Amino acid sequence: MTARSKTITLFSALRQANLNSALISMVVAGLLLSTLMFFSLRAQVTTNLNLVARTIAYSVEAALMFHDRASTQEILEQIVEREGLEMAQVKDSASNLIADFEVKHQSRNLNQLLDHLVFPSPTVVIVKSNQHVLGYVSIRGNGEIFSIFFQKTLMVIALSLLVIGATSFFLARKTERSITRQLDNLAKNTLLFKASSPQERKAFEIAEFQQIDEQFRELLAELDAKTMELTIQQMNLKEVNASLTYLANHDELTNLGNRSYFNRCLELAIMHANQQESRLAVLYLDSDRFKRINDEYGHSVGDIFLVKSAQCLQHAVRRSDLVARLGGDEFAILLQSLDSPTTAIRVAEKILASPDIHIVHNGRELCFQLKLSIGIALYPDLGKDKDSKALILAADQAMYISKQNGGCCYTLADFAPRKPKRLTP
């Protein structure tokens, strides 16, 4: 399971952002000031050591000229003790040691370690007399002065940053509350957009929030208009979709189901029959007189004849049964939940015994007998392995047998053709 991300408030996010910004700024400022003070103190200490080294060089110049080691050592010790140096050496021009003084310590303290870290090399000054090099003076401080000044500087910087941080935190909190209050007002104005009057709306102290509020109100008004427009479009689309769905499943002339709709219903009926262990029948019907009517009276009369034929078929079956036009003058009927095959036979006989069709054409009444060739396929009598296509094909073949036997009769699939009990001459 993945852990849910923690939700925080806007006030908390603003406060955290301000604190992070203030902290980063303080750290960066502290580092910059510390670095600046470090190099400034280092330059001052370096200058001071150079002055001390020059003082020693000036003091030992005469003694070094005469190679007076004792005087040089004495002068060196006096200056080293007075200036608080850790080490001092005087060498002649050939780099031979003339005087040497070093403060002995059992172990180096923090100041000395810091001094060696900041000043890795001793300070060296040349002793000259009339442009003639007499020798060299090299000294090293004990680091105490640098350490004390640097520590004091860090303390001052830290106190300054604390004051700046406290001030920044106070100002940030004040800014956060102001911005949050403006956002709360914006949210309340949004909730009161429809229900409130203009006097109830919250005012803004910040111009940008006032502008956002006005733009938001305009946006909500546009959204309302768009929502109304989309609602109307959606209603129109539903009507169009319903119309398209009806046209996709029904014949335009007779308003009966079409071939694809009949096939889908037959597949579902076969599944239901298998579950309920019931029987169904498919009747395939073809008109024996349609081509002759079309040729003699025209397509307009033929279309009326097909419409009235569809009405006769619907009157001959139950409301739960399905009548479909497969194309041209071919029809199909789906009978479900049959008690026995004789039920389908009775329906076929009822259809063949339908009354004549009367059509008014060019001021005179035409009378046509509904002559149909019918093929009947029963399920599961033909086998439970039969699907919808096999049943329709079996009924179609039985219908052609009926037509070959003179028409106006019905034939059971895999059985001999049957004449109806009563045929209209």
Q: Please report the pLDDT score of residue 93 as a whole number.
A: 81
Q: Mark which of 132, 157, 182 sits at the end of a domain.
A: 157
CATH number at residue 353: 3.30.70.270
Q: Mark which of 157, 179, 194 sits at the end of a domain.
A: 157
Mean pLDDT, residues 20-41 taken together: 77
| Same domain for 284 and 231 | no
| Same domain for 279 and 244 | no
- Domain assignment present for residue 331? The answer is yes
Contacts of 187 (CB under 8 A, 6+ apart): none
Q: Please report the pLDDT score of residue 11 as a whole number.
A: 60
Q: pLDDT tens across 314-327, in order? A: 999 999 999 999 98
The two structure tokens encoding residue 309: 């034929």
- Domain assignment present for residue 68? The answer is yes
Q: Please report the pLDDT score of residue 424 as a whole number.
A: 38
- Domain assignment present for residue 174? The answer is no
| Same domain for 330 and 400 | yes
CATH number at residue 62: 3.30.450.20
Q: Does 381 qualify as catalytic in the annotation? A: no
From 213, 321, 329, 396, the catalytic residue: 329
Band of pLDDT at residue 264, cut at 50, 70 and 90:
very high
d(CA 193, CA 187): 10
Q: Is the pLDDT of residue 220 over 90?
A: no
| Same domain for 270 and 224 | no
- Domain assignment present for residue 182? The answer is no
Average pLDDT, the chain: 80
In terms of Cα–Cα distance, which of 79, 65, 95 is closest to 87? Answer: 79
d(CA 375, CA 378): 10
In terms of Cα–Cα distance, which of 355, 363, 410, 373 is closest to 289? Answer: 373
| Same domain for 243 and 266 | no
- Domain assignment present for residue 27? The answer is yes
| Same domain for 136 and 44 | yes
Share of the chain above pLDDT 90, in %: 27
| Same domain for 311 and 207 | no
Decide if 54 contacts 136 (C-beta within 8 A): no
Query: Which neighbouring-strand residues pair with 49?
Result: none
Q: Please report the pLDDT score of residue 390 as a whole number.
A: 92
| Same domain for 289 and 344 | yes
Q: Please report the pLDDT score of residue 119 as a whole number.
A: 66
Q: Please report the pLDDT score of residue 6 as a whole number.
A: 60
The number of residues in the chain equals 425
| Same domain for 294 and 216 | no
- Domain assignment present for residue 162? The answer is no
| Same domain for 104 and 233 | no
| Same domain for 353 and 296 | yes
Q: How many domains does the chain have?
A: 3
| Same domain for 320 and 229 | no
Range of the domain at 123: 10-157
Q: pLDDT tens across 73-97, in order? A: 888 888 887 877 778 888 888 888 8
Mean pLDDT, residues 212-234 taken together: 77
Share of the chain above pLDDT 70, in %: 79
Q: How many CB atoms lie within 10 A of CB 364?
A: 7
Decide if 359 contacts 293 (C-beta within 8 A): no
- Domain assignment present for residue 83? The answer is yes
- Domain assignment present for residue 183? The answer is no
Q: Please report the pLDDT score of residue 421 as a whole number.
A: 44
What pTM, to 2 d.p., does this model score? 0.48
Higher pLDDT, 392 or 214: 392
